[in-house]
Chains A and B, each alone.
Chain A
Amino acid sequence: TQLLEQSPQFLSIQEGENLTVYCNSSSVFSSLQWYRQEPGEGPVLLVTVVTGGEVKKLKRLTFQFGDARKDSSLHITAAQPGDTGLYLCAGAMNSFGNEKLTFGTGTRLTIIP
Chain B
Amino acid sequence: NAGVTQTPKFQVLKTGQSMTLQCAQDMNHEYMSWYRQDPGMGLRLIHYSVGAGITDQGEVPNGYNVSRSTTEDFPLRLLSAAPSQTSVYFCASSRTYMSSGNTIYFGEGSWLTVV
Contact = CB atoms under 8 A, between A and B. Distances in A.
Contacts of B40: 9, 105
B19 to A, nearest CB: 20
Nearest to B58: A100
Interface in A48-79: 48, 50
A99 interface: yes
Given A4-B42, A42-B108, A98 B103 contact: no
Which of the four size classes fits the interface of chain A?
20 to 34
Contacts, number: 58
A90 interface: yes
A101 B45 contact: yes
B99 A41 contact: no
Contacts of B90: 42-43
Contacts of A33: 99, 104
Contacts of B74: none
Which of the four size classes fits the interface of chain B?
20 to 34
B100 A31 contact: yes
Interface string B74-109: 000000000000000010100001111111101111
Given A88-B42, A103-B44, A40 B109 contact: yes
Given A40-B108, A42-B109, A103 B99 contact: no
Given A48-B100, A50-B100, A106-B42, 4 more contacts: A42-B106, A43-B106, A48-B101, A92-B98
Interface of B: 4, 35, 40-45, 50, 56, 58, 90, 92, 97-104, 106-109
Interface of A: 2, 4, 9, 30-31, 33, 40-45, 48, 50, 88, 90, 92, 98-101, 103-106
